[in-house]
A and B are shown apart, each in its own frame.
Chain A
């Protein structure tokens, strides 16, 4: 079945450590997105990518980095510069002019 796979489901980060969240889709979607979800805050856009080898900052990109080397993959790195990384991270993808489809998320916590 086609879909979006996020891994791991739970992730723990030590102080000063970079961690990478995986997002893979087999829907042949051109666009991919990363959101951060905090309780009572809704979803906030971190980065998005419309095509391979191109991506744009969203509303809260500071402390995060991404790459889009393949159409299917859009990994998100949470760097040590992100001082409050504890959150639920959601990846989404879409075809042009179609609604976004979401993965099941990765919950990141600080040790």
Chain B
């Protein structure tokens, strides 16, 4: 069975510092990978996704994630964080028909990113 591990439950960083949020999955078959962000008392917003092709994917607000098949990882990075990046970040995995009709999106337990001035 597929599972998703987010190794850090909380990550405190100072503004303008780089950050990496780690995500590992366990699957012997091809998967699709997602990062979602959740601000307090809101739903989840899709940040970026890996479906196929280039292993480095980027979001519009400066985050990027790299799919590493040999290490079964999909870590999220940002070279310089802002106060507004403070939120909880969820890694999610799906196989087969990704994220959709088979309802098999599996989430990690989340990482709370806290950006301090």
Interface residues of A (CB under 8 A from B): 4, 6, 30-31, 33, 40-45, 48, 50, 56, 58, 90, 92, 94-105, 107
Contact = CB atoms under 8 A, between A and B. Distances in A.
Contacts of B98: 97, 99
Contact of A102 (B44, B97, B108, B110): B44
A104 B43 contact: yes
B25 interface: no
A43 B42 contact: no
B109 A48 contact: no
A42 B103 contact: no
B101 interface: yes
A54 B41 CA distance: 30
A99 B45 CA distance: 10
Main secondary structure of the interface of B (DSSP, over half): loop
Nearest to A43: B107
B99 interface: yes
B74 interface: no
Interface string B98-117: 11111101011110000000
B103 A48 contact: yes
Contact of A31 (B46, B49, B101, B109): B101
Contacts of A45: 103, 105
B44 A97 contact: no
A105 B41 CA distance: 7
Contacts of A42: 90, 107-110
Given A42-B90, A104-B42, A105-B41, A94 B109 contact: no
